[in-house]
Amino acid sequence: GESVGLHLPTLSVQEGDNSIINCAYSNSASDYFIWYKQESGKGPQFIIDIRSNMDKRQGQRVTVLLNKTVKHLSLQIAATQPGDSAVYFCAENFQGAQKLVFGQGTRLTINP
């Protein structure tokens, strides 16, 4: 269940519409990025990753866009389904760093 005080950005979309979830990263030296999906009560699940030598990568129903100029990452989900309801968060890493840095996440809710 939800915890009181959990203040995540929320995105509500109609079932069947496309969803765009955004992430701003802070380190201009970051060169590897991952999107995760976390359903309630479960661990984060890998969705898609992208390296800084690319600006777009596509998976099944998902596309990640990377804009290094403005340090912005987005996840696009096509034809959003009820099963896409979750918290989505991005993670970044730069070469030589020993850990990923995770964003706070965005809660995606699907309206029937």
Partner 1 sequence: DVKVTQSSRYLVKRTGEKVFLECVQDMDHENMFWYRQDPGLGLRLIYFSYDVKMKEKGDIPEGYSVSREKKERFSLILESASTNQTSMYLCASSAGTIQETQYFGPGTRLLVL
Interface residues with partner 1 (CB under 8 A)? 3, 5-7, 31-32, 34, 36, 41-46, 49, 89, 91, 93, 95, 97-100, 102-105
CB of residue 64 to partner 1, shortest distance in Å:
13
Going along 26-85, which residue ranges are E strands? 30-38, 45-51, 56-58, 62-67, 72-77
Question: In terms of CB distance, is 42 or 83 closer to partner 1?
Answer: 42
Question: In terms of CB distance, is 80 or 93 closer to partner 1?
Answer: 93
DSSP classification of residue 9? -
Phi-psi bin for 40: left (phi > 0), alpha (psi -120 to 50), beta?
beta
CB of residue 107 to partner 1, shortest distance in Å:
12
Output the CA torsion 17→110→48→55 (10° steps): 40
Distance (Å) of CA 34 to CA 26, 86, 93, 108: 15, 16, 9, 17
CB of residue 79 to partner 1, shortest distance in Å:
24
Question: In terms of CB distance, is 78 or 100 closer to partner 1?
Answer: 100
Question: In terms of CB distance, is 60 or 95 closer to partner 1?
Answer: 95
CB of residue 14 to partner 1, shortest distance in Å:
27
